[in-house]
Structure 1
Amino acid sequence: MGNLLCLEQVDQSTVAIKETFGKFDDVLEPGCHCVPWIFGSRLVGHLTLRVQQLDVKFETKTKDNVFVNVVASVQYHALSDKASDAYYKLSNTKAQIQAYVFDVIRASVPKLNLDDTFEQKNDIAKAVEEELEKAMSAYGFEIVQTLIVDIEPDERVKKAMNEINAAARLRMAATEKAEAEKILQIK
């Protein structure tokens, strides 16, 4: 019935893109709007303004030749004042963001050793966020936050690292025990 009366409803936290005879005309804010289809006007799509999250998981290699699985989480949203750019300039926003995340992390992680990668994950996340902010602002999106959620080396590498730590602790325990026995003999 709304279509018959030329009335369209735009829900909260979204905007609608209106075209007239196939050409962009206006961005409609939430509420009720008159879209006279008999004069060539129509809504071609809706764009959410809510914060969305994209989790990107991929494998890369560190400087010390250890392959790690990195999980990055990007939170972003479309800007209402640039809604036409967000709707028309990108056909696949998630793929674009994913490509930038891949690019930045694959450029920064191979420069770091495995231990440094864990220590500098906030720096890596900041580099990703800065690069994404520069790139995605041209398309009408704002990057809210970028997090490196997980850095996970291969299971065999984790097992080897645990064995190295266990051996070092056993060596320290043996040294302490020998010191204690030495003190007992002296006394």
Structure 2
Amino acid sequence: MNSPLYRAEQLTARWTLRQFAAYFIALFVLAGVFTLSAIDPVFTAGLVVLGVVIAGMASAVEIVRAYEKRALSVVGEYRGLLDPGLHFVPPFVSQTYRFDLRTQTLDVPQQEAITRDNSPVTADAIVYIRVMDPERAFLEVDDYRRATSLLAQTTLRAVLGNMTLDDTLSQREDINERIRAELDEPTDEWGVRVESVEVRSVEPTQGVVSAMEQQSGAERRRRAMILEAQGERVSAIERAEGDKRANVTHAEGEKLAQILEAQGNAVSTVLGARAAESMGERAIIDTGLETLGAVGQNDSNAFVFPQELTSLLGRYGTRLSGSDVRSDATELESQLLDPETRELLDLDSIEAIGSGE
């Protein structure tokens, strides 16, 4: 990472207290030398020696904060790590390198990648790291922050290239985990642990976005047409079902009306025939009675009656005797139909219909 902020942070980390003191004292001594050289050479020499001593003492002091460790190098040779606290190091020939042990954030700049289905996308991320072994971070890699950032960039492009466009847009957590797993092994060799990776955004290019919008619009129209067709189909089925029920009800009504009309005609015909039959029997009986009256005036003591006449007389005698009247005095037995006639006319069904059963 070559941003100005990153370079300023590295410079500040290496600009220690002893260096500030040494440069300040050196400037002070030089100013004093040029000012007092014409006055007293001995005083000038003493001032120089004093400045050197003060600068040496300042450069020999190292103060390490609680959240960091420092790698000590003396004349280019690695001497070990300085723990938090006050330390004295060889003056003028020592150099320390600061390592922050807190969680640090690395901003991965926006990367362009091609997905597995050949769709260009851009993405950026944030990587959270922590220095676990400052010695390895000092000896194994030149700049662990920059190295981790560059590795995260290439890993982000590789992970996106192995996924489809739909997966890159919907499986953000999976992308984060894949990148973290890919960074773990190489950063472990540097004494750095990748705690987490957060992909901030994955954006298709403008052309892909336009195509996706067209596809989405077409899909919405297709679904609307399907829903409309299904609604019309259900409505047509309901109308057909209603028409069917109406036709069935109408046909049943017409059938019942025809049955009732036919049964009524049959009853009327049977009752007319019964009435005609009854009138014929009465005429025969009346004629027979007149004949009997004429015979009764004859002096003969022997009479011969036809069998039919005796049968009619028996029936007529029953009517004359009033035996055709029912016990409740409401209806004559002669007006009742025998079971055979009732079955022929289906009078039981007619009575059931009339009573509403």
Q: TM-score range by the shorter chain?
A: 0.7 to 0.9
- Residue aligning to 2:180: 129
- Residue aligning to 1:92: 143
The TM-score with structure 1 as length reference comes to 0.82
- Residue aligning to 2:263: none
**Matched residues in 2 for 1:111 and 1:141: separation?**
26
- 1:128 and 1:146 in contact (8 A); partners too: yes
Q: Which of 58, 65, 73 does residue 19 from structure 1 map onto?
A: 73
The TM-score with structure 2 as length reference comes to 0.46
Aligned residue pair count? 183
Secondary structure in structure 2 of the residue aligned to 1:12: coil
Structure 1: which amino acid aligns with 2:83?
E
**Matched residues in 1 for 2:143 and 2:223: separation?**
55
- Residue aligning to 1:74: 127
1:52 equivalent to 2:116? Answer no
Secondary structure in structure 2 of the residue aligned to 1:37: coil
**Largest Rg, 1 or 2:** 2
- Residue aligning to 1:173: 224
- 2:131 and 2:193 in contact (8 A); partners too: yes
- Residue aligning to 2:116: 63
Once the 2 structures are TM-superposed, how far is the Cα of residue 181 of structure 1 from its aligned partner?
Answer: 4.0
**Structure 1, unaligned runs of 5 or more:** none
Q: Identity of aligned pairs, percent?
A: 25
**Matched residues in 2 for 1:152 and 1:14: separation?**
38
**Matched residues in 2 for 1:114 and 1:62: separation?**
6
- 1:100 and 1:131 in contact (8 A); partners too: no
**Greater helix share, structure number:** 2
Greater RCO, CA 8 A, separation 6+: 1
**Greater strand share, structure number:** 1
**Matched residues in 1 for 2:116 and 2:174: separation?**
17
Q: Deviations over 1:58-86 (max 9, x none)?
A: 1010122111112232110112xx21221
Once the 2 structures are TM-superposed, how far is the Cα of residue 184 of structure 1 from its aligned partner?
Answer: 4.1
Structure 2: which amino acid aligns with 1:141?
V
Q: Deviations over 1:8-38 (max 9, x none)?
A: 2112311122223331112112222222427
Structure 2: which amino acid aligns with 1:107?
A
